Amino acid sequence: MLNLRFDNTFVRELPGDPQPGNRRRQVHGALFSRVEPTPVAAPRLVAHSPEVAALLDIPEDTVRSRRFAEVFGGNALVEGMQPYAANYGGHQFGNWAGQLGDGRAISLGETINSRGERWELQLKGAGATPYARSADGRAVLRSSIREFLCSEAMFHLGVPTTRALSLVATGELVERDMFYDGRPRMEPGAVVCRVAPSFIRFGNFELPASRGDHGLLDRLIDFTIRRDFPELDSRRGLPSSAIAGGGNDRLRGVDGTVRAEWFAQVCERTAVMVAHWMRVGFVHGVMNTDNMSILGLTIDYGPYGWIDNFDLDWTPNTTDAGSRRYRFGYQPQVAHWNLGRLASAIAPSFGSLEPLHAGMARFEKAFIEADGRNMAAKLGLAALGPGDEALVEALHALLAAAQMDMTIFFRALARLDLANPATTPFGEAFYDEAKRRELEPALMSWLRRYAERARCGGLAPERRVQAMNAANPKYVLRNYLAQQAIDRAAEGDPEGIHELLDVMRRPYDEQPGREAFAARRPEWARDRAGCSMLSCSS
Ligand code: AMP
Ligand code: MG
């Protein structure tokens, strides 16, 4: 039995679209539209996350039941679910794009687990909504596998993220022009159930702001603070029981200092999230403001990618290939820019601009701190000190010039003999033999410089390896690994997904026998679709 308890605050407390159905439309004065998932032909569970099932108190035998696939494929609702699609806007590639909304994501409700935690369940690919514009509301298996696996891989890497409960094949085909070359083909469809405390995005605030609907904006801000930032809300003396409760108290505006602290926290969380991306070599690929979570969670796994050979200029997204707005090394700046769009949107709800400027400054401070902490851990130093910035910059330049694998390099660095540095631990990190020969002397001189620094200001030897291995994953969801799992699944074999998920559950452990999952990208994958760059087609 699927026993879930729901407390659907978003649809209960915020204004919804009075018009039913999924006819495409502009929706004014409302933050969501009630819409049900469109049933699919033959829902079949392909994979699930045991950790997320446990989080929701769903037993394993229930996960394997027919009912589970029916519910999480969009064919049945559990009592208490009140499905809706959220209405939001966003800046896409730097331009205001107007109303976007959940075009194919349908939230089922906010479930409360046995620990009292709130987890919203959301199906992606569950059919058209009023926000689907000209698209079909569906998702293909390949992109769903990528979203499912990466959500969980990121969680286990310690990166703030939305989670994924399940991956259900629909038994239906979806038409997609994967290469944008005018030759669409039919692909298997799937539905992922995403799970997060909140799916509110920067774009949820931007849309009412863009329409001058300040009343709606105010309500959304207050709601977000009450539900998603309870520690802030309780600071103004409101008992937390009133948060889940109801009544007129809920509609009272929160005061200016709480709003200021809220925005500062959004900035801080966003900074910490992006610093983690830089630590593990994750490139989101579509950092539009509609893809930025108010909780600082990584959200909307589309044409994302992982750094193989270190390259701050790399973007995984073919649509981004021209301007490279969403390239690896530019992610902190884009996050800052996106926070600026959020700040402009919410400004009418703030008495002055000062707290917004202060929040933006908090982003910079928090990013520098988090990035510094991460880099110190990656290098096995107690903390970064004066002169270390130059050491890190020299390393980045070297890794890029030598085209070395980021993950393999950092993991190997813990094995460096500080008393007697040598390049031997790094052989596996090179993609190009000529580059290796050319840059080995430069690597050697950097290693000497680093070893000297680590000997005097570093951690004790046992602590050092431990701290470094906890910051430098051995396993990341390399693009080619995900693609191999996708290729196998397309031929009817889901084992590749299960195995990869299992590897990614312990990314910092050695996992003897699974070294192949830590190998650098093979030559065949260098320019293959899905293994190097991806289109937004999903
Ligand atoms: P994304 O680039 O995936 O963040 O999507 C941008 C907007 O397009 C969002 O409003 C999505 O919900 C919507 N969208 C993307 N793909 C589809 C689809 N297949 N059907 C309906 N809406 C979609
Ligand atoms: Mg999106």
The rounded average pLDDT for each run of 10 residues, N- to C-terminus, in the chain (538 residues) is 95 97 96 98 98 98 98 98 98 98 98 98 98 96 98 98 98 93 95 98 98 98 97 66 38 76 98 98 98 98 98 96 97 98 98 96 98 97 94 98 98 97 98 98 98 89 93 98 97 97 98 98 92 90
- What SS3 class is residue 260? helix
CA of 291 to the centre of ligand 2 (A): 5
- Active-site residue identified among 218, 228, 233, 290: 290
Q: Whose CA is nearest to atom 11 of ligand 1?
A: 103
CA distance linking residue 252 with residue 261, whole number of Å: 18
Residue type, 64: R
CA of 319 to the centre of ligand 2 (A): 15
CA distance linking residue 236 with residue 257, whole number of Å: 9
Q: Is 290 a catalytic residue?
A: yes
Q: Whose CA is nearest to atom 12 of ligand 1?
A: 103
CA of 202 to the centre of ligand 2 (A): 11
* pLDDT score recorded for residue 256: 87
Q: Whose CA is nearest to atom 20 of ligand 1?
A: 137
302 lines ligand 1 (CB under 6 A): yes
CA of 27 to the centre of ligand 1 (A): 16
303 lines ligand 1 (CB under 6 A): no
CA distances from 442 to 26, 31, 435 (A): 58, 56, 11
> Which atom belonging to ligand 1 lies closest to the Cα atom of 138?
19
> Which atom belonging to ligand 1 lies closest to the Cα atom of 286?
2
136 lines ligand 1 (CB under 6 A): yes
CA of 408 to the centre of ligand 1 (A): 35
Render 344-377 in DSSP notation, one character per residue. HHHGGGSS-SHHHHHHHHHHHHHHHHHHHHHHHH
Give the CA count within 13 Å in the CB-facing half-sphere of 21: 4
372 lines ligand 1 (CB under 6 A): no
Q: Whose CA is nearest to atom 7 of ligand 1?
A: 100
Pocket test for ligand 1, best of 133, 147, 177 (most atoms within 8 A of CB): 133
* pLDDT score recorded for residue 237: 54
- What is the pTM (predicted TM-score) of this model? 0.96
332 lines ligand 1 (CB under 6 A): no
> Which atom belonging to ligand 1 lies closest to the Cα atom of 174?
19
Q: Which residue has the tokens 């969680």?
A: 155
97 lines ligand 1 (CB under 6 A): no
**Contact indicator for 170, 191 with CB cutoff of 8 Å:** yes
Sorted by sequence, the CB contacts under 8 Å of residue 316 that are 6+ apart come out as 283, 285, 303, 304, 305, 479, 532, 533, 534
Closest CA to 11 of 86, 79, 75: 86
* pLDDT score recorded for residue 251: 36
CA distance linking residue 128 with residue 139, whole number of Å: 11
* pLDDT score recorded for residue 218: 97
Q: Whose CA is nearest to atom 14 of ligand 1?
A: 103
CA of 290 to the centre of ligand 2 (A): 6
24 lines ligand 1 (CB under 6 A): no
140 lines ligand 1 (CB under 6 A): no
Closest CA to 236 of 222, 248, 246, 247: 222
375 lines ligand 1 (CB under 6 A): no
135 lines ligand 1 (CB under 6 A): yes
CA distance linking residue 155 with residue 164, whole number of Å: 10
CA of 251 to the centre of ligand 1 (A): 32
